[in-house]
Amino acid sequence: MDRQNPYFLHPSTIYVSRDSQWIVTILGSCVSVCFFDTKKRIGGINHYMTPYWNGEGLESPKYGNVSIIQLFQKMLDFGAKKEDIVCKIFGGAEVLSEQLSVFNVGQRNIELAYKMVAELGISVVSSSTGGKLGRKIYFNAGTGEVLQKYLVKSNSK
Amino acid sequence: MQLLKLEKENEELVRSLSEVNEKLHDSERLKGHFISNITNEIVNPFTSVIALAENIKRLKEGEIPMAHHMAELIFEEAFHLDFQLKNIFAAALIEAGKEQVKCSVINLNDLNHQISEYFRQLLDKKRIQLSIHFSNESTENDQILFTSDREKLDLILKNLISNSIKYSPEDSVVELKYFMGKKELHFEVYDQGKGINPDDRKIIFDRFKQLDEKINSINTGHGLGLSIVQAYAEMLGGKVRLNDNFDKGVNVMVIIPESAEASDWDDLEDFLLDSEASY
C-alpha cells in the first residue's frame, strides 16, 4: 500500500499494523495517538472524538479513555513491547463547530492524551496539537513516520 | 458573593460527577446482566425452534394448517434471533473500533423495497402499514442514488423501523419519509405508538436499556438498537434527533451527509513532521 492509496482511518476506530503501510486521517478537534514499537516496527493509530466515556451509548473508541487503552492493548497483542514503544500526538484544534456546547473539546482531548500516555509510561517523541486549523496526517505503521498538512478549511471531525 | 458562586459551581460539579459515577456503575452491572441474559436470549429461541420443528415432524396427514402456524412461529423466533445477533455483532465491532466505512452508490428505492419485504410478516401480523415516501416527485421505479455505507444505512433503518413496529398499536401506520437535501440525506421514521415516558428519554440511547422490560419475551431485544443507530450515524458523519410527540407517537430523524472520499494528497504541500532517523 503506497501513499497514493492509503488506509483511511475513520473517527472512533483503531488500526494497528506490522506492514509499512500509510494510514490517513483527518483531525479537527479530534485527537490521534500514534504508537510505534521501534524494535519490532509495529505501528498503531487511533482517532477519538471526546475525552471520556460517560456511560452513555456504546463504550467505543469514540472516547479517548477507551480508545487509548484499546490501542495500547492491541499493540501488545501484535507483539509490541511497552519499553520499545514511543508515541506521537496530533490534533485537538479549536475548530468552531455547530456544537458550541462542546466546550474546549480539542484542548480536553489533548490533555487526556498526554495524561494517559504518561500513565502508561510511554514517552512522547513528537506532537502537533492545538491551534485553530484542522490537520490531515499520514502515519506509516512500518516506519513510524508522520506527515502532516494543515487544512485551511476547518473540518469539525 | 464570589464565594457563594464558587460554592454553587462546586455543588453542580459534585452532582454531575456522582451522576456519571452512577451511570458507570449501572453500566458495569448491566454488562454482567447482559452476558448472563444473552445465554437465555439465544438459547431460548433455539429451544423453541427445535421443539416446533419436532412438532411439525410428528404431524399427521390432514394437519397441514397446524404446520403453517408452527412454521410462522419458527420464522418469528428465528427472525428476532437473527436481528438481535446482527445488533450484538455490530455493537461488538463498534466497541472494538473495528468498524470500517465502505461506501458505494445505493439505489434507495431498492433498499426500501428490501426493507419492506424484510418486515413483511411482522407488519402483516399487527396489520401495520409501512408507508415510504420521498419529498420529491418520484415513483417507485425511479433510481434515487445516494453514496454511503449500504450495510450501515440498512441497519440504521431496520432498527428504527423495528422499534416503531414494536411500539405501534395494531392497525396503525409506520411512516418512513426521505428528503434529499444538498449533498445530504434526511430521513424520518414516525410511529403512532404511545410515545416515551419523559424519565426514559435520557437513557433511550444507552445500550442494554429497555424501556419495556418483558422478561421471557424474545421480542424485546436488548435495547442496543438506538445506541447502534447513533454510533453508525456518527461514523457516517451524521446526526440523530429524537422527537417524542407523546400520545401521537415518536419520530426519529437522521441526517447523513453524502460520502466522498476523494484523496487530495497530490494537492497537499505536506511536510515530513519527523523522520524515522529521530528514533
**What is the per-residue pLDDT across B102-113, written as a single tens digit (0 to 9) for each?**
888 999 999 999
Q: What is the pLDDT of residue B219?
A: 39
Is B273 part of a structural domain of the chain? no
Q: Three-class SS of residue A4?
A: coil
Q: How far apart are CA B185 and CA B177, in angstroms?
A: 11
B137 and B61 in a common domain:
no
Residue after which a domain boundary falls, among B96, B111, B145: B96
Q: Is B274 on the interface with A (CB under 8 A)?
A: yes
Bridge-based pairing state of the strands A146-151 and B129-134:
unpaired
B107 and B88 in a common domain:
no
Is B57 part of a structural domain of the chain? yes
Whether pLDDT at B176 is above 90: yes
Which conformational region is residue A41 in: left (phi greater than 0), alpha (psi within -120 to 50 degrees), or beta?
left
B63 and B113 in a common domain:
no
Q: How far apart are CA B163 and CA B249, in angstroms?
A: 12
List the CATH number of the domain containing B26. Answer: 1.10.287.130
Is B118 part of a structural domain of the chain? yes
User: What are the grid coordinates assigned to B271, written together?
Assistant: 511536510
Q: Which residue intervals of chain B are DSSP H helices?
A: 2-58, 64-95, 108-118, 120-126, 150-167, 225-235
- B269 contacts in A (CB within 8 Å)? 149
Whether pLDDT at B131 is above 50: yes
Whether pLDDT at B208 is above 80: no
Q: How far apart are CA B65 and CA B27, in angstroms?
A: 46
B75 and B44 in a common domain:
yes
Per-residue pLDDT of B187-202, as tens digits, reads 999 988 877 766 666 6
Whether pLDDT at B225 is above 90: no
B24 and B47 in a common domain:
yes
Least Cα distance to B255 among B194, B192, B186 occurs for B186
B78 and B177 in a common domain:
no
B14 and B146 in a common domain:
no
Task: Assess contact for A48 and A91: CB atoms under 8 A.
Answer: no
B37 pLDDT band, cuts 50/70/90, is low
Is B270 part of a structural domain of the chain? no
Please give the average per-residue pLDDT across B129-155, as a whole number: 84
To test the contact with chain B by mutation, choose from A39, A54, A60, A83 the residue with the greatest count of B C-beta atoms within 10 A, namely: A60
B178 and B50 in a common domain:
no
Please give the average per-residue pLDDT across B133-146, as a whole number: 76
- A46 contacts in B (CB within 8 Å)? 97
Q: 3-state SS of B49-81?
A: HHHHHHHHHHCCCCCHHHHHHHHHHHHHHHHHH
B142 pLDDT band, cuts 50/70/90, is confident
Q: How far apart are CA B259 and CA B232, in angstroms?
A: 14
Q: What is the pLDDT of residue B239?
A: 92
Q: Helices (H), strands (E): how many in chain A?
A: 2, 9
Is B177 part of a structural domain of the chain? yes
Q: Is B268 on the interface with A (CB under 8 A)?
A: yes
Which range of residues forms the domain containing residue B197?
103-257
Nearest to A12 among B97, B269, B273 (CB): B97
Task: Match 487503552 to its residue by C-alpha cell.
Answer: A69
List beta partners, residue A119: none
Q: Which residue intervals of B131-261 are DSSP H helices?
A: 150-167, 225-235
Q: How far apart are CA B205 and CA B208, in angstroms?
A: 9
List the CATH number of the domain containing B198. Answer: 3.30.565.10
Q: Is B35 on the interface with A (CB under 8 A)?
A: no
Is B279 part of a structural domain of the chain? no
Task: Assess contact for A58 and B207: CB atoms under 8 A.
Answer: yes
For residue B273, what is the nearest residue in chain A, using CA coordinates?
A147
**Count, residues in chain A:** 157
CA dihedral B168, B154, A48, B266 (to 10 degrees): -150
Please give the average per-residue pLDDT across B170-183, as a whole number: 91
- A14 contacts in B (CB within 8 Å)? 96-98
Per-residue pLDDT of B43-93, as tens digits, reads 788 888 999 999 999 988 888 888 888 999 999 889 988 888 898 889 889
Per-residue pLDDT of A38-55, as tens digits, reads 999 999 999 999 999 877
User: Model's pTM, two decimal places?
Assistant: 0.77
Q: How far apart are CA B80 and CA B119, in angstroms?
A: 11
Residue after which a domain boundary falls, among B45, B71, B96: B96
Task: Assess contact for B82 and B122: CB atoms under 8 A.
Answer: no
To test the contact with chain A by mutation, choose from B20, B205, B264, B279 the residue with the greatest count of A C-beta atoms within 10 A, namely: B279
Task: Assess contact for B235 and A11: CB atoms under 8 A.
Answer: yes
Q: Is B149 on the interface with A (CB under 8 A)?
A: no
CA A98 to chain centre: 23
| Yes or no, beta carbons of B94 and A58 under 8 Å apart | yes
- Torsion angles phi and psi, residue A100, rounded to 5: -70, -15
**Spatial strand order in the sheet of A7-8:** A7-8, A22-27, A134-140, A146-151, B271-274
Which residues does chain A have with pLDDT short of 50? 1, 101, 154-157
Residue after which a domain boundary falls, among B81, B96, B111: B96
Is B276 part of a structural domain of the chain? no
Q: Is B257 on the interface with A (CB under 8 A)?
A: no
Least Cα distance to A67 among A83, A89, A95, A39 occurs for A89
Is B44 part of a structural domain of the chain? yes
Q: Is B39 on the interface with A (CB under 8 A)?
A: no
B77 and B168 in a common domain:
no
**CB within 8 Å of B69: residues ≥ 6 apart:** none
Domain count, chain B: 2
B161 and B47 in a common domain:
no
| Yes or no, beta carbons of A147 and B227 under 8 Å apart | no
Q: Which amino acid, residue B225?
A: G
B221 and B164 in a common domain:
yes
B167 and B75 in a common domain:
no
